[in-house]
């Protein structure tokens, strides 16, 4: 389990774009389950949508990508330290239920394929046990 300060040591993102609040479970190089608390104070709700706030699907995808980045970091060897993880693509994104302020978004990413510096994950986001979104997330590890 990782808290926010430990996550900040792994991910380069910061407010308002750091979208992982806590890591609940991690299996190095394979899987991560994380949590994002959806607050009514999120900057994105000023425009999406002022009358009925809905957390944007693109932000859910980014949260899944950040969760997958934590998996990659957990499996890095010494030759990869200092490398940066970049978003490389997405397939089969589906959004099932709206995510709104007050929700706890559970993010799960499972490694499905890895070749050289390209990684593919199956990502799922759920709220109260209901699948909210899913996608295949592609990431690339880039040396600095």
Output the pLDDT for position 81. 72
Compute how many other C-beta atoms are within 10 angstroms of the C-beta atom of residue 114.
15
d(CA 144, CA 142): 6
The catalytic residue positions are 48
Mean pLDDT in consecutive groups of 10 residues from the start of the chain, 144 residues: 96 96 98 98 93 97 98 81 90 98 99 96 99 99 87
In the chain, where the domains are located: 4-142
- 4-142 folds as Thiol Ester Dehydrase; Chain A (3.10.129)
């Amino acid at each position: 389990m990782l808290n926010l300060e430990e996550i900040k040591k792994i991910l380069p993102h910061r407010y308002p774009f750091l979208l992982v609040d806590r890591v609940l479970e991690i299996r190095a190089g394979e899987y991560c389950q994380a949590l994002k608390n959806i607050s009514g104070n999120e900057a994105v709700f000023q425009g999406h949508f002022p009358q009925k706030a809905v957390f944007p699907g693109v932000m859910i995808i980014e949260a899944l990508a950040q969760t997958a980045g934590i998996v990659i970091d957990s499996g890095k060897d010494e030759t990869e330290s200092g490398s940066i993880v970049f978003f490389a693509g997405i397939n089969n994104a589906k959004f099932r239920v709206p995510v709104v302020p007050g929700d706890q978004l559970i993010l799960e990413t499972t490694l499905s394929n890895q070749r050289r510096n390209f990684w593919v994950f199956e990502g799922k986001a759920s709220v109260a046990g209901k699948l909210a979104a899913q996608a295949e997330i592609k990431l690339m590890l880039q040396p600095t």
